[in-house]
Amino acid sequence: MSSIPIISNNDVDALELDHFRKMDYFAVEEYGLPIELMMENAGLQLASLVSKFTILSGTIQIGVGNGNNGGGGLVAARRLAAWGSKVLLDIPVEISKALPLLQLERALTFGAKKGRIKKPNIWVDAYLGFSQRLPLSTAYTERIEQANKNNCLKISLDIPTGFLGKKKESYFKAEHVLSLAAAKNILNNLPDSTTVYLADLGIPQAVYAKFKVRFPPFNKSAILKIEK
């Protein structure tokens, strides 16, 4: 696997979810940063991370929901399919919102397929994002249970589905988590074996400064690995 630059945990500001939500909203409202563009950036960085573990003959299953996190997963599906990977989309609930629906159509056009496989090589969790609430619906808990019993590599986009900070919760137990734009305090409660990365969403440095958050060195790499 090609190298990803490492940044020390001491050099990263981890945010509470509400703090991050305000920063994200400010970037959209004050800088005109389109949600679709951030979705594209999230999906590209996710696809880039997944591709570092991809076996060309294997299958990547990407679970997506009906929100922005699902949209990011669908962008990743489109990218990975375009790069030649076999991508299956697990869609537990109907995709009805305009932007995720557009990303679904694009992903299918580029070669991703709808469907589930019991034993994928990689299972990507882009079901729900940082706005998820418990309890989860049966559709999502069933996916989590199946994934956690599976010996495949598991990767989550932003916050693992079902995880709100307690290890005893039933959540998608990813070995790798790609945190979008900034580290989140909630991820510090994941097992020490979990590797957390940061991904550049395109939020300008001035926004980080306004919210008193140190800007990650995305000028070196759009993906950074956090060293605990």
pLDDT tens column, 102-151: 999 999 999 999 999 989 999 999 999 888 888 899 999 999 999 999 99
Q: What is the pLDDT of residue 71?
A: 98
Q: What is the pLDDT of residue 3?
A: 87
Q: What is the pLDDT of residue 152?
A: 96
In this structure, what are the phi and psi dihedrals at residue 61, rounded to the nearest 5 degrees?
Answer: -105, 125
Which whole number is the average pLDDT over 48-61?
89
Residue 1 has pLDDT above 60, yes or no: no
Identify the band that residue 162 occupies on the pLDDT scale cut at 50, 70 and 90.
Answer: very high
Q: What is the pLDDT of residue 130?
A: 83
Place of tokens 């090609």: 2
Residue 28 has pLDDT above 80, yes or no: yes
Residue 5 has pLDDT above 70, yes or no: yes
Q: Percent of the chain having pLDDT more than 70?
A: 98
Identify the band that residue 2 occupies on the pLDDT scale cut at 50, 70 and 90.
Answer: low
Q: Which CATH number fits domain 6-227: 3.90.245.10, 3.20.20.70, 3.40.50.300, 3.40.50.10260?
A: 3.40.50.10260
The overall pTM is greater than 0.85 = yes
Q: What is the pLDDT of residue 56?
A: 64
In the chain, alpha helices (H): 17-31, 35-51, 68-82, 98-109, 138-149, 205-210
State the burial class of residue 150 (Cβ atoms within 10 Å of its Cβ: 0-12, 13-18, 19+). middle
Place of tokens 């959540």: 171
Mean pLDDT of the chain: 95
Which whole number is the average pLDDT over 188-212?
97
